[in-house]
Each structure stands twice: as structure tokens, then as C-alpha cells.
Amino acid sequence: MRQRTLVLIKPDAVVNYHIGNIIDRYEREKFDIVAMRMLEMDDCIASKHYAEHVGKPYYQRLVDFMATDRIVALVVEGENVIERVREIHGKTDPKKAAPGTIRADFALSKTVNSVHASDSPESAEREVHVFFSETEIYQPNHDIDFSVFDGD
């Protein structure tokens, strides 16, 4: 089933020059990047995006961390992408993340853990629209014949 998921590349991964490496892992799986933007997560966006975490003991630490520097928000599309991207990211706590996952490779702690991904079709639908309007999300076209533009 073709799905969309919301990915955030968190401040630690941006500051430590991992943006390209992280996006490469989705593209290697032939997942399509259909929307992308760099932004700073303020308290307002944080409380919308992390709505289910408001009031948790780690919430303020999480929000403060997410506002330390810019983040990259992406909509990633592909077959079974919600579950697959979470597998590529690894477990929340990098100490428990499988070798070769993004969090095992780059994350610094359970809070400072490099990436976010939606965990269900319902949260993907909600989270995508915290960051993007429907008109900012593109339809990938895999049927273009680029050879018609061949020139001298």
C-alpha cells in the first residue's frame, strides 16, 4: 500500500552534517521525497506536532531540544513507508536501536535522537498537515522520458 509519512531531521542531525546521509537512506529504498522544508520548531508548532506528549515528564526537555537549531521536515512517500521508515530509524533509545539504523549511527540520547517519523496512518495524516498544506505536497511522476530533452 502506498503511504505518506512525516519525517523530521532533528537539530542534532542537522548540526552534525547528517542531513544528506539521512535522506540518502530513504532514496536508496526508492521512497519519494514529495515535500521538504527547513524551519525552526517554536513552542506553537511543538505543541501541535507533539500533542500526545504534552504533560509527559520529558515534554519540556524535548521541546527545548527541538528549538535549539533548525530542523528539516519531509513528506516521504512509498510502499509501506510508515513502518519501513520507523525500521530505518531504529528504536527511540539509541542504546536499543539495531545496528545500522539512523539512531544507532547518529543519535546521542533518548531525547537527542536525530529523527522523527509518524507511527500510524492516522498520525501521519495529522502530522503531515502540521508542516505542509496539501498544495505543497507533490505527486511523484516516474513515467517521464528525459531523453526527449537530449541536445547537443
Whether 67 contacts 43, CB under 8 Å:
yes
Q: Are 146 and 43 in contact (CB under 8 A)?
A: no
Nearer to ligand CDP, 105 or 119 (CB): 119
Is 116 known to be catalytic? yes
Alpha-carbon gap, residue 87 to 124, rounded angstroms? 16
151/106 Cα distance (integer angstroms)? 43
The footprint of Mg ion on this chain (CB under 5 A) covers a number of residues equal to 1
Q: For ligand CDP, which residue of 111, 123, 129, 130 counts as binding (CB under 6 A)?
A: 111
Query: Which residue has its beta carbon closest to Mg ion?
Result: 119
- CB contact at 8 A, 82 and 2: no
138 binds, among Mg ion, ligand CDP, none (CB under 5 to 8 A by kind): none
Binding-site residues: 10, 58, 86, 92, 103, 113
Annotated binding site for ATP: 10, 58, 86, 92, 103, 113
